[in-house]
Amino acid sequence: MDCQSDAEAMSAEKIKAIVKDVMQRAAFLVKAANDLPRRGDDFELCNSFSAFTAFMEQQETRIRLMLDSLMRNAGCPTRLPKLNSDVEEYLGRIVMVDDRVVERVGIVMDELDRGGREDVEVPKTVIGAESVKKRKAEAEAKFQEQIQTCDPGLVLAERLRRAHEEATGVVESCPKPQKEYGFESFIDNSYNAFIPKLVTKHHALSRMETTGMIIIDEDVGSDGSKRYLSVDDSAALHPYLYEIQNFVVPDVQLKSKAPSEFMDISKTPLTMVENVEDLRRIKRSVKQLRRVCCRFRASSLPKLSGIHLSYSNIDKD
């Protein structure tokens, strides 16, 4: 009996020690859990994983495409905010588009209501009414007489204005380059998704590896099939979208320097590119420079889709 009572006392003490150890470990566990980031703390713990960050960027791009398609189909296309923007900016754009849709619906309803009416008022003919064209001609002649008797300078300005209007009205428009040289079929002005065609991507930044992850869109497309969105660097909206978002101004450009003294325009050499060999020679010379100015603009003449491209530096154009 004494041995049995001693064994029970030892087992009771052992249980108490185990319970005490468990309580201490539970207290340490609760303390460690309280130190972890909560669900509402901007997902700091989840953002530390590259796969989660890539997944969130892919979903944001997908939502932007859906919003753009929805607004375009509603007849109110708008420019969405940049990536990684706040939710309030997206809500502001959505509310603005919603107001446009409501306004257009009201206009359409008014037109339908007006078209369904039968009491159309036909203007009555008044016998003996003066001609509108005659009154306009008399008013124009009276106005010209006032100008001529007022100031000769105004008369000269009026003549110059009419001469300019006549000259601009008879300008011969050159044919469009895409029609003249036969590359009109390669120009795509539709709302289809942009697909980069760059074979070699220069000045590209290294990205995190996100291979092996595929996003399945449960919404059925127009063809009745599901869409699979894979995390691929080439599937971006812009070939240099990642580089633009992570662009950092070099320290050399942030330092102030003395202004450069440019030569007179009459002494600055000008080189015109007339063939492919001239263009290649200009390309080789530009690649050796550290700073170069590039101007790219379209022609302002009507019905001419030409372009003007020029490079300049301190020494030559």
What residue ranges do the domains of the chain occupy?
A: 1-36, 44-106, 136-169, 259-317
Contact, 93 vs 76, CB < 8 A? no
Report whether pLDDT(228) > 80: no
pLDDT digits (tens, 9 = 90+) for 139-162: 666 666 665 555 666 666 677 777
Tell me the average pLDDT across 287-314. 71
Report d(CA 95, CA 101) in Å as an integer.
10
- Cα–Cα nearest to 215, from 199, 191, 232: 232
Report whether pLDDT(32) > 80: no
Tell me the average pLDDT across 67-80. 78
Report whether pLDDT(261) > 50: yes
pTM over 0.75: no
Confidence of residue 1 (pLDDT cuts 50, 70, 90): low
How many other C-beta atoms are found inside a 10 Å radius of the C-beta of residue 71?
21
Phi, then psi, of 230 in degrees rounded to 5: -95, 150
Report whether pLDDT(117) > 60: no
Name the one residue in this structure whose structure tokens are 């040289």.
Answer: 181
Contact, 222 vs 69, CB < 8 A? no
Lowest mean pLDDT segment, chosen from 56-70, 251-265, 296-310: 296-310
- Cα–Cα nearest to 139, from 128, 127, 151, 130: 130
> Which of 112-116, 218-222, 290-294 reaches the highest mean pLDDT?
290-294
Tell me the helix, strand and coil percentages in the chain, rounded to 5.
50, 5, 45
